[in-house]
A and B are shown apart, each in its own frame.
Chain A
Amino acid sequence: MSDKKEMISELKSIVKPYIQDEEAFKNLDEDTDFINDLKINSANLVDVILDIEDKYDIELDNESMDKMLNVKIALEVINTKISEK
């Protein structure tokens, strides 16, 4: 499992094409909210989820997506799914 810093930077490059708030993106940390802070539109949040699935070769079922509104929870869900592989 990658360490947290590395995972945040991986996640950062995944969300980059979809963000609409550069300032929030620059300061991205665990508490960053994809919609409220990065202003990713919700249709593009689906793309983020699909990109995460491709990158880590995991499947995020609709139940695990449910809470993935910020970086912290996204990392938790990704780690859980990786450890279940």
Chain B
Amino acid sequence: MSDLIACHGCDLLVDVSTLESGSHASCPRCGHFLTRCQHDAMSRVLAYTVAAIILLLLAVAFPFLSFAASGLESVMTLRSAPGSLWNYGMPELAILVAAFIIYIPAIILLLLVSISLPLIYGKNAPWLRFAARGVFTLQTWSMVEVFIIGVIVSLVKIAAMATVGLGISFWAYAGFSICFTLAVAALDRYQCWEMIEAVEASR
């Protein structure tokens, strides 16, 4: 029965037992994506995740953008973007923005490490279910790639007013957004839970 998957789009039962590595299955009735099988999926997840963690640490540590006009200069860091909302009297919005661009992605990355490491070695770990549930619940709410577009739009908006400089953080965050997206995309919901069930059964 575990080879059957119910389509989330139309509830059709589909047999995915013959799915080969490197290919993916879509629902024959409604076309909804079902699952992708990749024999080294967890190694990919771990690789992208580690890269993303390093880049995120860099992005938090250095200046993001600098802005200079008439001899005055101001600098923005990744943390000061939500920080300024806080200072202008919008603490709720500040917390949300900080969560969307830094904290939720960071939590997802830590959970991804805690899932992929035991699964690569085929070992069971007591936190696997909790961590996987966390990842799949939180992933809708990370807006890393949206923030990058926001940065580019901001750049164009103010480029005419003054000299804008790109800091180390900007490049680090751009790289982080790519690695993060790849890490989350490499983790297939169905396959991940099948693997968790398999290592728990082999205990």
Partners in one complex: no
- Where the two chains meet, the residues of A that have a C-beta atom closer than 8 Å to any C-beta of B are none
